[in-house]
Amino acid sequence: MRSSLVSPITLSLAALAALSACTSMPASAPMKLFDQAALPAAVQVPTGHRVALETVGVGEITYECRAKANAPGSFEWVFVGPKAVLNSRQGSAIGSYFGPPATWQASDGSAITGAQVAVAPNAPGSIPLQLVKANPATGAGAMNGISYIQRVATQGGVAPAMPCAGDSTGKREIVKYQADYIFWKAA
């Protein structure tokens, strides 16, 4: 009987070919992980700012089933708050994001809150892109001088698809999400 599994030698050769292809690529400037021109205008950071810190937020968003305001007998999932770890591009935890109010806190204890400036749609099933104007930081550290926070490259995080009705009022659901949080300072 002949096995349909790929042999370890075939896998090794495939991996070697892939690595060879990568090493034969021409050297160039470091890859930019985001591009302002590729983002909707509403969530672009104003000119005169530079990137101070790039993070990848991995966590969850809590929603609660509540009655719709001014719509008797109607219900909806309402955003309660986020809870995420902010990781460096290399994957190490360097802070957290939580709320309300929306708070970004570095491991050094410095923290910022902010006011939403704009949102822009992203892919279906993902929370929108967002631009936030930062309030002055508390504590000395990485968050000092941050003027804007961008949420880009969002994945997941939207309200639950399950029905929200009168018999589930007050029920909470947690959904997973990921997003890049880019922190900007005046140039």
pLDDT digits (tens, 9 = 90+) for 92-120: 999 999 999 999 999 999 999 999 999 99
Beta strands 111-120 and 172-186, pairing class: unpaired
Q: What is the average pLDDT across 14-37? A: 44
Cβ burial of 40 (10 Å; 0-12, 13-18, 19+) is middle
Q: Choose among 134, 63, 126, 62: nearest CA to 105.
A: 134
Say yes or no to pLDDT of 163 above 80. Answer: yes
| Helix/strand/coil percent split, the chain, to 5 | 15, 45, 40
Q: Which pTM does this prediction carry?
A: 0.81
Show the tokens assigned to 104.
Answer: 């970004």
Element (H, E) at 17: helix 8-23
Please tell me the predicted confidence (pLDDT) of residue 8: 35
Say yes or no to pLDDT of 31 above 60. Answer: no
- No. of H helices and E strands in the chain? 1, 8
Please tell me the predicted confidence (pLDDT) of residue 33: 55
Q: Which of 34-43, 121-130, 133-142, 178-187 has the lowest mean pLDDT?
A: 34-43
Q: How confident is the model at residue 35 (pLDDT cuts 50, 70, 90)?
A: confident
Say yes or no to pLDDT of 155 above 60. Answer: yes
Please tell me the predicted confidence (pLDDT) of residue 184: 97
What contacts 51, CB < 8 A, 6 or more positions away? 182, 183, 184
Is the pLDDT higher at 12 or at 135?
135
